[in-house]
Amino acid sequence: MKKKPKIIITPKKVEGQVNSSEMSGSKIPKKELALDRNISNNIVKLKKIMSDNKLLVSGLTFIFLSLFLVLSNYNKSNNHNTSDQKELPSADGVDIKEPPKEVPPSKSENLDLSELLAVAQKREGYRQNIKVLDSITSIKTLLQKERIPKRMLNELVYLAQENNIDILKKGKTWYTIKSKAADESTEKFYIYEESPSQYFVINGQPKPEIKSITKEVHIKIKSIAGVIKTSLWDAVRDSDGDDRVVGRMEEALKWVVDFYHVAPNDKFKIIYEEEWVDDKMVGVAKLLAVTFYTNNKIYDAYYYKDEKIEGYFNRMGQSMKKKFLKSPVKYNKITSAYNPERVHPVLGDKRPHLGTDFFANKADPIFAVGDGTVTAATFKKNNGNYVKIKHDNIYQTQYLHIMENGFAEGIKVGAKVKQGQVIGYAGQTGLATGVHVCFRFWKNGAQVDPLKEEAVQSDVPTQLDKESFQERKDSLLLQMDEIPFFDLSF
């Protein structure tokens, strides 16, 4: 079962910041609200007259502008009242007899997103609508649906361009917060959340305004230890770790640990960086160190970076990265090994199988096992769609039965590829009984068994500053030793 991350919202009192309880204690005199409404009613009437009688337009524009100035002055004085009066009750013991009138949260400065939303949620008469954008969307399209006045819309779109948010990204969140009272003066504002540390508050009233709010991201170091009972994911969650760390762990150890075959009783310890915004954990940054116990062996990796080098190294200071990946697909599951004596499953006669067949589902990505240059990306009767890569003067690799139209973008003769780059998608083209990847490993022009090839296991040579690495590793190792396995009995 997936544990939901705990979100703790603790409103902080910072100067110039208004929290919800203070805001609900402030008030706007009824008289002024009524006046506001009168003015907006008058504007509506004026607009109608203006469209009916063009001769009156110039004269009325003057009156309209004057009214607009009056309106904005009222809004300013409203703001003044709010900030003055919120000090009153506690300072002078003045009793407020009228029930406090709420100030729309849009007028509060520098509130956290979570606080803004909490305010809107608690506030009677306000409701919020949360939309996760399912495609790239222009802010204009979103605002047009809100039927806000055209001039206001144009100004907001202009401000959005200035803030570089006129085009909103897919997967980001758009909040609409509005009063339930559906009259002309409906109070509305919007929030665009670009990331947990960056969001924009968009107001139409009292004047079009977009406020960019940037939060600082803090790094906290987290250490966890776990024992696998069912899956690695569950074990990480059970030890109060974040799911996202699983991928980082695989990335660091993929050359030495086969994560598709981890088993119950396998153990791990991890030190990683968490990203925090205020009181909320928002992400996982770097994995700093990992120890993994599997198959009666211990594997460990330490993150190290200096001006020349960045990556994971074992405790001897050898790079975790090998010249070739163990498998060209994510499952390291061999369905038919290299076998020069094999009887062919389709043709029935004795034909050597000079490839290694890896299990794959249709359309699974196929990875280049090492850096190199594509020397073939074409179709042949038996091979089906296939790719061949030259890695150096000794080694070449070949990937067969790629699905129909299944070459990855840019994969053609002469293309340079990096280790782990997707070159195509698994299929069953050519002579194949089912979906799989037939992987062929060439050494000096002859096919050999990659599992017996030393080059597959050899480290990539690195120029590591041994002394500096040693220091870093020792400190991480010390922290690692302090992490207890909290649950060894099951």
**Main-chain dihedrals φ then ψ at residue 360, nearest 5 degrees:** -155, 150
**Count of C-beta atoms within a 10 Å radius of residue 483:** 16
CB nearer to Zn ion: pick between 328 and 355? 355
C-beta separation of 133 from 171 below 8 A: yes
- The CB-of-363 to Zn ion minimum distance in angstroms stands at 19
Residues 6+ apart with CB under 8 A from 438: 355, 356, 357, 358, 383, 399, 400, 401, 432
Piece in contact with Zn ion (CB under 5 A), picked from 135-143, 245-253, 319-327, 437-445: 437-445
Residue closer to Zn ion, measured from CB, 301 or 369: 369
Q: Report if residue 357 touches Zn ion, rule: CB under 5 A.
A: yes
Using CB under 5 A, which of the segments 35-43, 366-374, 403-411, 434-442 binds Zn ion? 434-442
**Angstrom distance (rounded) from CA 310 to CA 316:** 16
Residue nearer to Zn ion on the CB measure, 355 or 424: 355
User: Binding Zn ion by CB under 5 A: which of 11, 25, 226, 355?
Assistant: 355
Residue count, binding to Zn ion (CB under 5 A) = 3
Token pair listed for 8: 């703790």
Q: Which residue number, 179 or 383, has a Cβ lying nearer to Zn ion? A: 383
Output the smallest distance, CB 339 to Zn ion, in A: 10
Minimum separation from the CB atom of position 383 to Zn ion (A): 10
Q: Coil, strand, or helix at residue 406?
A: strand
Task: Please confirm whether the linkage preceding 352 is cis (ω < 30° from 0).
Answer: no
Residue with Cβ nearer Zn ion (106 or 396): 396
Span interacting with Zn ion, options 46-54, 295-303, 431-439, 443-451, rule CB under 5 A? 431-439
**Minimum distance between the CB of residue 328 and Zn ion, rounded to whole angstroms?**
12
Q: How far is the CB of 336 from Zn ion (least distance, A)?
A: 6
The residues in 360-389 that bind Zn ion, with binding defined as CB under 5 A, are none
Cα(128)–Cα(135) distance, integer angstroms: 21
Which residue's CB is nearer to Zn ion, number 164 or number 361?
Answer: 361
Beta bridge partners of 443: 395, 446
Q: Give min distance, CB of 361 to Zn ion, in A.
A: 17
426 is a contact residue toward Zn ion (CB under 5 A): no
Query: In the bound complex, what is the minimum distance in angstroms from residue 439's beta carbon to Zn ion?
Result: 8
Q: How many C-beta neighbours within 10 Å does residue 408 have? A: 19
Residue whose CB is less far from Zn ion, 242 or 357: 357
Binding residue for Zn ion, selected from 374, 423, 438, 456, defined by CB under 5 A:
438
- Burial state string for 331-356 with b = 16 or more CB within 10 A and e = fewer than 16: bbeeebebeeeeeeeeeeeeeebbbb
- Nearer to Zn ion (CB atom), residue 5 or residue 434: 434
- Both structure tokens of 434: 């089912």
Backbone angles phi, psi at 100, to 5 degrees: -60, 135
CA 298 to chain centre: 32
From 55-63, 135-143, 171-179, 354-362, span contacting Zn ion (CB under 5 A): 354-362
Supply the minimum distance, in Å, between the C-beta of residue 335 and Zn ion. Answer: 9
**SS3 assignment, position 178:** strand
Least distance in Å: CB of 259 to Zn ion? 24
| DSSP state string for 30-84 | HHHHHHHHHHHHHHHHHHHHHHH-GGGHHHHHHHHHHHHHHHHHHHHHHHHHHHH
For residue 276, what are the contacts with CB-CB under 8 A and spacing of at least 6? Answer: 217, 218, 219, 220, 282
The footprint of Zn ion on residues 87-146 (CB under 5 A) is none
Residue nearest to Zn ion (CB): 438
| Nearer residue to Zn ion within complex by CB, 196 or 355 | 355
**Piece of the chain touching Zn ion by CB under 5 A; list 36-44, 201-209, 274-282, 355-363:** 355-363
Closer CB to Zn ion, residue 60 or residue 448?
Answer: 448
CA distance 404 to 388: 17
> Which residues of this chain interact with Zn ion, rule CB under 5 A?
355, 357, 438
